[in-house]
């Protein structure tokens, strides 16, 4: 079965260049009507232009597709609401939201101004929440929605000089987990993409040979699956150069100390046991942890 998006309406943020452009073209090539959102800023968020988004719309129209450009700054709630309203006015629905817009303001933490920290969180986290929030009532009403958040290895694993970006990208997981739960009954599925691509964002970091292998187009097939009819939900998909993998969060089995033994010294003495990965498991939700600890404490005391 081929994956198609005929009759679906998609919004792709930051779709003028790089990964967003590739995602927008990939969706349009398989039948989606696409809102090509882009503020047209530099890598650091400075400037503004509609040129890149207009060029992507022209590319989509040249292949016989339908698209319009919208220059909303994703961190501006009113502008995002206007964009979603325009999509719904024109095409009657909004099925897919690909949150991809992003900027970098790298500095080691000691040298970083908190303004730069907040700005990066604003674009990545608040921007993604703004888009999801504006789409939410439409997706709930039509009992169908696909939302992707874009994280990064920087958020999942850490990267020197990116405390703002890493924090914002890790926050995508928290947003995904809760939207996945709240959206499930209305047919809304929410996933996270953790790409690694050669774009202007990584232009000075990658050798030329790696840049060719890591073209944005090598990632878009994975994104298309995450927003397809049969999409999974709550998946963190790593993608780049044709490789795909899933990142998962596990909790170790851990230990339980009785009150008289529950001292910092005892915890320190058992750190290796606490961190032992044998029998680690994925917890289904926040109460999974509460349940596990309360049950362990009760069991240690011989209670039922």
Residues within the interface to ligand NAD (CB under 6 A): 13-14, 16-20, 37-41, 43, 45, 52, 73-75, 100-103, 123, 127, 150, 152, 195-197, 199-202
Instruction: Give the nearer residue to ligand NAD in terms of CB position, either 145 or 240.
Output: 240
Q: For ligand NAD, which is the closer residue by CB, 188 or 198? A: 198
Structure tokens at 182: 């709240």
What is the Cα–Cα distance from 173 to 20, expressed in whole angstroms? 20
Alpha helices (H) in 143-241, listed in sequence order: 153-157, 163-183, 208-213, 220-226
Q: Give me the residue whose beta carbon is nearest to ligand NAD.
A: 18
Give the full edge-to-edge strand order of the sheet including 33-37: 67-70, 33-37, 9-12, 96-99, 145-150, 188-195, 236-240, 243-247
Nearer to ligand NAD, 57 or 144 (CB): 57
Shortest distance, position 213 Cβ to ligand NAD, whole Å: 12
Q: For residue 51, give both structure tokens.
A: 């040129």
Length of the chain: 304
Catalytic residue among 144, 157, 165, 293: 165
Residue 267: how many CB atoms within 10 A of its CB? 13
Q: At closest approach, how far in Å is the CB of 8 from ligand NAD?
A: 21
- Nearest-approach distance from CB 115 to ligand NAD, in angstroms: 15
By the 10 Å C-beta count (0-12 exposed, 13-18 middle, 19+ buried), 284 is classed as exposed
Told to judge if 165 belongs to the known catalytic residues of this protein, a careful annotator would answer yes
In angstroms, give the least distance from the CB of 20 to ligand NAD. 5
For ligand NAD, which is the closer residue by CB, 200 or 275? 200
Residues with catalytic function: 165
């Amino acid at each position: 079965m081929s994956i198609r998006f005929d009759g679906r309406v998609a919004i792709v943020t930051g779709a003028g260049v790089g990964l967003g452009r590739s995602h927008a073209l990939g969706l349009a090539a398989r039948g989606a009507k696409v809102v090509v959102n882009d503020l047209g800023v530099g890598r650091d968020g400075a400037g503004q232009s509609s040129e890149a988004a207009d060029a992507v719309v022209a590319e989509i129209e040249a292949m016989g597709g339908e698209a319009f450009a919208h220059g909303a700054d994703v961190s501006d709630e009113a502008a995002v609401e206007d964009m979603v309203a325009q999509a719904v006015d024109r095409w009657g629905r909004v099925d897919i939201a690909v949150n991809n817009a992003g900027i970098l303001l790298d500095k080691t933490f000691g040298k970083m101004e908190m303004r730069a920290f907040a700005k990066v969180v604003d674009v990545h986290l608040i921007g993604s929440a703004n888009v999801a929030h504006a789409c939410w009532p439409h997706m709930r009403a039509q009992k169908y929605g696909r939302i992707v958040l874009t994280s990064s290895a920087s958020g999942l694993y850490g990267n020197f000089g990116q405390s703002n970006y890493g924090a914002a990208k890790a926050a995508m997981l928290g947003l995904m987990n809760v939207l996945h739960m709240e959206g499930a009954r209305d047919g809304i599925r929410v996933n996270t993409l953790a790409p690694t691509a050669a774009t202007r964002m990584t232009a000075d970091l990658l050798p030329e040979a790696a840049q060719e292998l890591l073209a944005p187009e090598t990632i878009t097939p994975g994104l298309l699956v995450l927003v397809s009819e049969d999409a999974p939900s709550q998946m963190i998909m790593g993608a780049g150069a044709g490789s795909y993998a899933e990142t998962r969060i596990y909790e170790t089995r851990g230990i339980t100390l009785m009150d008289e033994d529950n001292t910092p010294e005892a915890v320190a003495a058992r750190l290796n046991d606490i961190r032992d990965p044998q029998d680690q498991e994925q917890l289904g939700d926040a109460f999974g942890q509460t349940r596990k600890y309360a049950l362990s404490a009760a069991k240690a005391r011989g209670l039922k």
